[in-house]
Amino acid sequence: MTIADPVLAARYRALALEGLLRPGLDFTELPPRFLVADVARQRLGLLADGRLLADFPISTAAAGLGGADGSLRTPPGWHRIQARIGAGARPGAVFRERLDTGEVWLGEEREDDLILDRILTLDGLEPGVNRGPGCDTRERTIYLHGTNQQALLGAPVSHGCIRLSGADVTELFELAREGDLLLVAPADADPLGLGRLHFAGVAGSGMSALAQYVAQRGGRASGSDRSFDRGQGGAGRALLERAGVALLPQDGSGVRGCAAVVYSTAVEEQVPDFAMARQLGVPLVHRSELLAHFVADRRTLAITGTSGKSTTVAMVFEILRGAGRDPSVITGGELVALQREGLWGNAWAGASDLLVVEADESDGSVVRYHPAVGVILNLQRDHKEMAEVAGMFAAFRAQARAGFVVGEAANLAPFAAGATVFGFGPEARVRAEDLAEGGDGSSFRVAGTRFRLNVPGRHNVENALAALAACLEVGVPLEAAVAPLERFQGVARRFQILGSARGVEVVDDFAHNPAKVAASLRTAHLRAGRVLAVFQPHGFGPMRFLRADFVAAFAAELHPQDRLWLLEIVYQGGTATRDISSSEVAQEIAGRGVQAVCAPSREALVAALAAEARAGDLILVMGARDPSLAALSRSILAALGAGQA
């Protein structure tokens, strides 16, 4: 069967780990294979070597849990599958006294409760609870079986046995073995119901956000990261610990006793935590699978697109928050408003069911999400060819449960049917009118309501329109968004103005694809007569793929008086083919009439900028996937200040 939610493996393992604490057991470790009847959710799961092999709806007793004879309750605790009865029986075979009667149920309406298809009998393993005089599960003839009351599965309506559909009990019969352990688990005390989740590589932007969100919602989160083991990232470590995330060495020790190990694409299988999970049979859950679990569990607004996701997520979150809706957020960018509250900035758990997330297309994970409201901002050439990304967007569009929002660009038209369209043209339902742009922000009207946005750039107006449209889908009127948008403080490294020295402004920006670079350069020109641009490509593959687009973007957006310095391409290790250099690209850009060079080092770059900059200039540092770029930007500002002194 297809497992709809891989995160359920963590849920079942968490219940089983809690079950090990039950008194009187003669075992202290979970076996490689076990079953759990999750009474709170009315589901049954079978795990083997950390993988969820099956997940079925069930019905336990209407009278609840209990082991006493005659109680009509489902016995709690640990059992062992004692016998498998009914091999080869016809579909719908009717059993009495655990014997095939030869009668076949054909789906007709019947008031009596039938025992159908297959039977798995149980031996209780807990004396005084489900084993022994007055409470013995086998003597009470409590077992797993098929039922004709299939419409009632998912609700506790049985007379003590555990019911499944005929198809499910037949499939379970083939998967289960005599001797397999089965826990009938009562409701647990974990607010998230997932046990302790251990995040391998917890310092990453996406992983840290999820770990904080789990802890903020009252769940249990631990994590490890090589950078912490090396004594790096002290500020991030402190923020995670303050949020309630327990940090452990990345040596595999944090895996013992956890319900699942959460990992990202950046975590290699050789990482000790990953290897230990495989060895111990602990479920491995990809970061995007955990996020998809939360997306499906909440009334989620999921934002995707090749540009502007983090900023739009932040705007939606701040509008909802300002309108009193108390939302949650999980994102890759760091909201300045949350940072000013002493948080990392990429996660917050509010009290309502509203959740705002960034749905990433670069790794393909956008297709995992089933949000209440989906948003597609744009479709440009970035990590993949646009046709491939369009296919992912089509799947995302089909999976939205309630509403959808899409930009007005022509290449988004296939997703616009039945959606709210935003933009500047006449076809847009959420349309900006009377737009006035300036170096310090923009103003515009939507349906007669005037907005002021204190982050500059036409692309940020587009982001705001998308955010307004998304919030309308969950019932927030335009008027309630006016003050939150005017207060919007932006996202770290999204055209973040660090300060000025000698009359020169320094801006740190995450731009890393041609469209984002072009938007950032246009915004910089709103604030300054001359732009001194710095760009660090974030990988050999992306630069090779987008080389012509980068050359065209810089040639089109840089003015004759502007300057461009390229830093060498970031190498993150691995097997990337290093067959292109920033020097080659700089020469090609220079051949298009731009003053462009490759900086030999960061030290030389800082010195060159300090010498070149004059009052009225703007220094724009662009690049992604390298946390040290923010420090570089600040060192440039410091060098300007030192020169001033």
Burial zone of 231 (CB within 10 Å; 0-12 exposed, 13-18 middle, 19+ buried) = exposed
Q: Would residue 3 count as lying in a domain?
A: no
pLDDT in the model for residue 575? 53
Q: Which residue has the tokens 């005390």?
A: 189
pLDDT class for 572, splitting at 50, 70, 90? low
3-state secondary structure of 385: coil
Residue 645's pLDDT band, with cuts at 50, 70 and 90, is: very low
User: What's the domain count of the chain?
Assistant: 4
Quote the tokens at residue 584: 């080659």
Residue 36 covered by a domain? yes
- Domain endpoint, select from 487, 513, 530: 487
Cα–Cα distance, 183 to 509 (Å, whole number)? 53
What pLDDT does 1 receive?
60
The per-residue pLDDT for range 507-517, each reduced to its tens digit, is 998 888 888 89
342 and 398 fall within a common domain:
yes
- The per-residue pLDDT for 596 is 92
- What is the pLDDT, as a whole number, of residue 108? 93
Residue 573's pLDDT band (cuts 50, 70, 90): low
> At 386, is the pLDDT very low, low, confident or very high (cuts 50, 70, 90)?
confident
| Whole-angstrom distance, CA of residue 46 vs CA of residue 28 | 19
| Co-location of 224 and 153 in the same domain | no
Bridge-based pairing state of the strands 43-48 and 33-38 = antiparallel
**pLDDT band, very low/low/confident/very high, at 87 (cuts 50, 70, 90):** very high
Could you read off the pLDDT of 503-543 as tens digits, one per residue? Answer: 999 999 888 888 889 989 988 998 888 999 999 987 887 78
Of residues 213 and 630, the one with the higher pLDDT is 213
Residues with Cβ within 8 Å of 232's Cβ and at least 6 positions away in sequence, in order, are none
What are φ and ψ of residue 525, in 5° steps? -70, -20
Span 8-21, mean pLDDT? Answer: 95
Q: Which of 124-128, 199-203, 434-438, 567-571 has the lowest mean pLDDT?
A: 567-571
Which of 269, 288, 307 delimits the end of a domain? 288
Most confident of 189-198, 231-240, 291-300, 625-634: 291-300
Which residue, 185, 216, 244, sits at the end of a domain?
185
Is residue 241 very low, low, confident or very high in pLDDT (cuts 50, 70, 90)?
Answer: very high
Domain identity same for 335 and 476: yes
Same domain, 462 and 378: yes
Distances (CA, A) of 281 to 50, 176, 200, 235, 264: 4, 18, 16, 33, 18
Per the model's pLDDT, the better-predicted residue between 571 and 610 turns out to be 610
Q: Does 343 reside within a domain? A: yes
Pairing between β-strand 115-124 and β-strand 260-263 as defined by DSSP bridges: unpaired
Residue 1 lies in a domain: no
CA dist 497 and 633 (Å) reads 10
Q: Based on the domain organization, do 348 and 450 belong to the same domain?
A: yes
Q: Read off the pLDDT band of 2 (50, 70, 90).
A: low
Residue 323, SS3 per DSSP: coil
User: pLDDT-based confidence at 299, cuts 50/70/90?
Assistant: very high
Q: Is the pLDDT of residue 278 over 80?
A: yes
Give, for 329, the enclosing helix (H) or strand (E).
Answer: strand 328-330
User: Same domain for 440 and 521?
Assistant: no
Rounded CA-CA distance 466/416 in Å is 13
Residue 429 sits in a domain whose CATH number is: 3.40.1190.10
For 55, the domain range is: 8-185
Distance CA 158, CA 184 (A): 14
Q: What percent of the chain has pLDDT over 90?
A: 80
Same domain flag for 431 and 394: yes
Residue 495 pLDDT: 84
How far is Cα of residue 579 from the mean position of the Cα atoms in its chain?
Answer: 33
**pLDDT reading at 493 higher than 90:** no
Q: Which pLDDT tens digit goes with each residue over 56-67?
A: 999 999 999 999
- Name the band, by pLDDT with cuts 50, 70 and 90, for residue 381: confident
Rg over CA atoms, the chain? 29
Are 455 and 467 spatial neighbours (Cβ–Cβ below 8 Å)? no
Mean pLDDT value across residues 221-225: 96
Same domain, 444 and 309: yes
Dig out the tokens for 59 from the structure. Answer: 């019905």
Please check the confidence at residue 644 and state whether its pLDDT lies above 70: no
If pLDDT is split at 50, 70 and 90, which confidence band does 317 have? very high
| Same domain membership, residue 360 and residue 265 | no
Q: What is the pLDDT of residue 272?
A: 92
Q: Do 204 and 256 fall within a single domain?
A: yes
| Residue in the block written with tokens 């003669």 | 26
The domain spanning residue 143 has which CATH number? Answer: 2.40.440.10
293 belongs to a structural domain: no
Per residue, the 3-state secondary structure of 590-631, as one string, reads HCCCCCEEECCCHHHHHHHHHHHCCCCEEEEEEECCCCHHHH
Assess whether pLDDT exceeds 60 at residue 202. yes
Question: Where residue 574 falls among pLDDT bands split at 50, 70, 90?
Answer: low
Average pLDDT, the chain: 93
Residue 2 belongs to some domain of the structure: no
Distance CA 221, CA 206 (A): 14
In a domain, 153, yes or no: yes
Assign residue 615 the CATH number of its domain. 3.90.190.20
pLDDT of residue 513: 84
SS (H, E, C) 540-557: HHHHHHHHHHHHHHHHHH
Is 532 in the same domain as 470? Answer: no
| Judgement on whether residues 370 and 472 belong to the same structural domain of the protein | yes
Do residues 609 and 474 make contact, with C-beta atoms less than 8 angstroms apart?
no
Tell me the per-residue pLDDT of 396-417, one tens digit each, with 9 for 90 and over: 999 999 999 999 999 999 999 9
User: What is the amino acid identity at position 420?
Assistant: T
CB 218: neighbour CB atoms within 10 A? 12
